[in-house]
Amino acid sequence: MPTQDQDDKALEYATDVRKFEIGLFWTRSLFFWGFITTALAAYGASIHYGGSREMQFGAGCFGLVSSIAWALTNRSSKYWQKIWETKVEEFQQSAVGRDMFSARSNTQINERWLTGPVHYSVSKLTIALSDFVVLCWCGLVFRASPAAHQLNHGWILPGILVVTVIFVVRMLCGCRPDPV
Residue 109 lies in a domain: no
User: What is the rounded end-to-end Cα distance, in angstroms, of the chain?
Assistant: 28
Residue 110 lies in a domain: no
pLDDT tens track for 90-107: 888 777 776 665 555 555
Residue 179 lies in a domain: no
Domain that holds residue 166: 4-96+120-174
| Rounded-to-integer distance, Cα 133 and Cα 135, Å | 5
Residue of 130 and 159 predicted with greater confidence: 130
pLDDT tens track for 106-140: 556 777 666 778 888 889 999 999 999 999 999 99
| Rounded-to-integer distance, Cα 10 and Cα 98, Å | 15
Q: Which amino acid is present at 77?
A: S
Residue 57 lies in a domain: yes
Total of domains in the chain? 1
| Rounded-to-integer distance, Cα 29 and Cα 73, Å | 8
Which percentage of the chain shows pLDDT scores above 90? Answer: 40
Q: Render the burial of 69-85: b for 16+ CB within 10 Å, e for the rest.
A: bbbebbeebbebbeebb
Residue 130 lies in a domain: yes
Residue 46 lies in a domain: yes
Return mean pLDDT, the chain.
85
- pLDDT on residue 148: 78
pTM: 0.81
